[in-house]
Amino acid sequence: MKPMRSIVSRLLARAELLTSSLPPTRAIVREPGNLSPLLRMLGIVVMATALTAPPIASAADTLRRPNIVIILGDDLGFADMGAFGSEIKTPNLDSLTKDGMRFTNFYTHASCSPTRSVLLSGVDTHLNGLGNMDEWTAPNQWGVDGYEGYLNNRVATLPQLLKDAGYHTYMVGKWHLGKTPEQIPAARGFERDFSLLEGAGSYWDMTNFTAASPQSVFTEDGRYLTRLPDDYYATKTYTDKLIGFIDANRGDGKPFFAYVAPQAPHDPYHLPREWRNRHVGEYDKGWDAVRQERLKRQIELGILPAGTKLSERMWFIPDPIVLAPASRAILGKKMELYAGMVENLDFHVGRLIDHLKKIGEYENTVFVVFGDNGAEGTDLFEMIAGKPGTRDFLFAAIHWSQTHPNAWGDPGSYVAYGPMWAQVSMTPFSQYKGWLAEGGIRNALIVSGPAVKRPKGSVNHGLMHVADIMPTLLEIAGASYPKTNDGGELPALMGKSWGPVLAGQAESPRTEQDYLGWEIFGNRAVRQGDWKIRWQYQPLGKGDWELFNLATDPAERKDLAAERPDKVRELVALWDNYVRANNVVLPSRSPFEALDDQLPKRVPDDPGFPPLIYKRQFVPPKDMMADPKP
């Protein structure tokens, strides 16, 4: 049976190769079972040819559509990869930049599920169901279309379209776009999956964070798991599973689309012991010094222009040089662990790359790598575990109380590195995840593989958005975006294909008139060209529109709203357009609504102030010193 199967597989593969080289009309690629008479005839010819063809690579192989791998780091910061200025060692991710290109002006959303929803649907969050995170949907958004808290069925998904176009579609990692049977990866276009349906959880087991929802839910190939595999560690297992998926279907010659969405480096920083001590003491110097070093390297690498300044150190974060060595050591150890998380992630990406090279698929694989939002500066655990006497505090006491630093990384530990290191991860930008400052939404992007025609290793500064990935990959796969899905009209894609940029024909997929809009948790922003307005809750925002010129001030240090009211008006008009076009319903409640009362009063971060604690011991001139007179 085996030889016969093999021949049949090869024939099918060759037929598929042929269809893939044809013009990408939806009718053709979405319904391979209903091939046109012309195609049927061509297929028969190819099959007949194949029967007599020698078993070596034919010219058709060169026309094979590329595999596609999206690697979505969870809370991975703009400056966390070596190729983007980090001291964290990421040789495998960096190798993709050497074989591809880097993008410095790429935007996601400010939190994870909204970004993921846009990535997989190509449609704005307020239309695709993630107008707010499920965890924070406001009362006035309940029941409103576009605010379901899961990826709704009014959108088509990237894996669904790629599967219809003849791709194998695999997913491993975090889903966070719905848990019911009709919302899980298998129902949204993935043939194979091994998925954590939650937004976060233990990397070691099924423990989740609250007494109300104590257990993480996983699926594998559309079935809800009763337990996890032996020897489970999230990043490792996800990689193992994906390699298994790829190998299982390799013989049929179809290209694959793999959505690799590891939890890493999202907190809690669960990490095998051998990865925890690779940066011991390295971060005791403090966040300011590391930010300065990263910025210097970013400028040297061409990621940022010379003269770029760091954003303000947030006013409630102390200057590390005034902290005791013990404080710096313990806070630094959190960053050591984070660095280990990123390096472990890189290691497993390396395993995937090596495997693709080994099976001869690497050269024909397009990689798209980025983080889903800004680095995490909020203490999620504090929000969840709450205060003594609460239900979830008791849950945390039993399941999440391994607080000793030597336990950090173990099951039951919950470490996150805090806003000071989140700012490092987002060097040189301002703020972090959840906010619409650049530190919340701007991320590093790598694209490599056969789609990239520019010189390897090049850096591009064009204005890109996560919504662009859907049209870009459909184009690469030779597929198209349909007008309807299951009888319903689909919303238009909001992104623009990167095809011309990757081909070296354009510097940006956008014109100066195109704009991008964001809204999450009531914070809102618009970018057009070099200009950006943002409205954020106090005290990270002003409760009013702020205006920044990102070309001259990427760190958003200087609010130009008072100087340029005309520009503010212009951009606010775009915001209004965005609201209308996307059914934006500003939330009546927000996680940030009371933040003004929880943080210290906002003050500038003037270096060296107050002199009281910075001025060093006065040493008089030696020749003027004397013992007291008798």
Partner 1 sequence: MKNDKGQMKPVAWLWLCVAAMLAMGAFCPPQALAQVPARFYWKTLSDANAVPLIINSINGNTNPFDAAHTVTPGADFDATLALAGYGRTFSLLDRAAMAAIILPMGRISGDVTVAGRTFNQSASGFGDPMIEFNVNILGPPAQKNIPDALRYEPGFSVDLLADLAVPIGEYNSDQPLNIGQNRWYGRLGMPIIWQLGPWVPGRRTTLEFLPAVWFFGNNNDYVGQTLKTDPMFQVDAHLTRDFTERFWGSLDAAWYYGGQASINGVSGEKLNNLGVGLTLGYTINDNLNLTVGYKSTVNDSAPGDLRMDGFMVSFVYGWHPLLEGSKRLKEGEK
Active site residues per annotation: 112, 176
Is residue 420 near partner 1 by the rule CB under 8 A? yes
Nearest to 520 by CA among 586, 581, 583: 586
Window 512-531: contact mask with partner 1 (x via CB under 8 A): ---------x----------
Candidate segments 44-52, 277-285, 344-352, 541-549, binder of partner 1 by CB under 8 A: 277-285
The residues in 461-500 that bind partner 1, with binding defined as CB under 8 A, are none
Name the DSSP class of 51: H
Nearest to 587 by CA among 152, 176, 142, 145: 142
Alpha-carbon distance 287 to 493, whole Å?
40
Residue of 285, 557, 595, 605 interacting with partner 1 (CB under 8 A): 595
Window 300-319: contact mask with partner 1 (x via CB under 8 A): ----------------xxx-
Is residue 147 near partner 1 by the rule CB under 8 A? no
Task: For Cα atoms 220, 224, 226, give the angle at the middle one, nearest 5 degrees.
Answer: 105
Strand partners, 171: 193, 259
CA dist list (Å): 317 to 189, 313, 331, 346, 422 = 44, 7, 12, 29, 11
Least separation in angstroms between CB 318 and partner 1: 7
Measured in whole angstroms, the distance separating CA 364 from the mean position of its chain's CA atoms is 23
Least separation in angstroms between CB 337 and partner 1: 13
Candidate segments 169-177, 214-222, 365-373, 417-425, binder of partner 1 by CB under 8 A: 417-425
The number of residues that bind partner 1 (CB under 8 A) is 41
Nearest to 73 by CA among 341, 332, 447: 341
Q: Are residues 178 and 150 in contact, defined by beta-carbon separation less than 8 angstroms?
A: yes
Is residue 334 near partner 1 by the rule CB under 8 A? yes
Kindly tell me which of 52 and 598 has the beta carbon lying closer to partner 1. 598
Contacts of 69 (CB under 8 A, 6+ apart): 257, 258, 260, 352, 365, 366, 367, 368
The beta strands (E) that lie in 54-189 are given as: 67-73, 100-107, 168-174
Least separation in angstroms between CB 378 and partner 1: 4
Least separation in angstroms between CB 326 and partner 1: 4
Return the amino acid letter for 464: M
Contacts of 538 (CB under 8 A, 6+ apart): 595, 596, 602
Residue 365: what are its φ and ψ, rounded to 5°? -120, 130
Measured in whole angstroms, the distance separating CA 247 from the mean position of its chain's CA atoms is 26
Kindly tell me which of 328 and 465 has the beta carbon lying closer to partner 1. 328
Least separation in angstroms between CB 382 and partner 1: 5
Residue 53: what are its φ and ψ, rounded to 5°? -75, 145
Rg over CA atoms, the chain:
26
Kindly tell me which of 319 and 475 has the beta carbon lying closer to partner 1. 319
Measured in whole angstroms, the distance separating CA 97 from the mean position of its chain's CA atoms is 17
Residue of 328, 399, 510, 532 interacting with partner 1 (CB under 8 A): 328
Candidate segments 29-37, 64-72, 288-296, 412-420, binder of partner 1 by CB under 8 A: 412-420
Task: Name the packing angle between helices 234-249 and 325-358 (round to 10°).
Answer: 10
Residue of 226, 513, 598, 617 interacting with partner 1 (CB under 8 A): 598
Is residue 288 near partner 1 by the rule CB under 8 A? no
Peptide bond into 325 cis (omega under 30): no
Return the amino acid letter for 328: R
Window 353-392: contact mask with partner 1 (x via CB under 8 A): ------------------------xxx--xx---------
Alpha-carbon distance 350 to 358, whole Å?
12
CA dist list (Å): 592 to 148, 318, 523, 535, 595 = 21, 22, 9, 12, 5
Kindly tell me which of 94 and 267 has the beta carbon lying closer to partner 1. 267
Kindly tell me which of 239 and 378 has the beta carbon lying closer to partner 1. 378
The beta strands (E) that lie in 90-208 are given as: 100-107, 168-174, 192-196
Residue of 114, 418, 471, 495 interacting with partner 1 (CB under 8 A): 418
Least separation in angstroms between CB 136 and partner 1: 8
Kindly tell me which of 135 and 512 has the beta carbon lying closer to partner 1. 135
Kindly tell me which of 57 and 613 has the beta carbon lying closer to partner 1. 613
Residue of 153, 402, 458, 583 interacting with partner 1 (CB under 8 A): 402
Residue of 281, 305, 360, 543 interacting with partner 1 (CB under 8 A): 281
Kindly tell me which of 57 and 383 has the beta carbon lying closer to partner 1. 383
Nearest to 103 by CA among 483, 371, 314: 371
Alpha-carbon distance 216 to 210, whole Å?
10
Is residue 333 near partner 1 by the rule CB under 8 A? yes
Is residue 289 near partner 1 by the rule CB under 8 A? no
Kindly tell me which of 93 and 384 has the beta carbon lying closer to partner 1. 384
Kindly tell me which of 363 and 382 has the beta carbon lying closer to partner 1. 382
Candidate segments 73-81, 162-170, 302-310, 595-603, binder of partner 1 by CB under 8 A: 595-603
Return the amino acid letter for 512: E
Is residue 439 near partner 1 by the rule CB under 8 A? no
Is residue 141 near partner 1 by the rule CB under 8 A? no
Least separation in angstroms between CB 114 and partner 1: 14
Least separation in angstroms between CB 433 and partner 1: 9
Is residue 280 near partner 1 by the rule CB under 8 A? yes
Residue 355: what are its φ and ψ, rounded to 5°? -65, -40
Candidate segments 230-238, 347-355, 403-411, 440-448, binder of partner 1 by CB under 8 A: 403-411
CA dist list (Å): 589 to 113, 140, 436, 623 = 19, 8, 17, 68
Q: Are residues 104 and 470 in contact, defined by beta-carbon separation less than 8 angstroms?
A: no
Least separation in angstroms between CB 325 and partner 1: 5
Query: Which residues would be at the binding site for partner 1 (CB under 8 A)?
Result: 273, 280-281, 284, 316-318, 324-331, 333-334, 377-379, 382-383, 402-407, 410, 416-420, 434, 521, 591-592, 595, 598-599
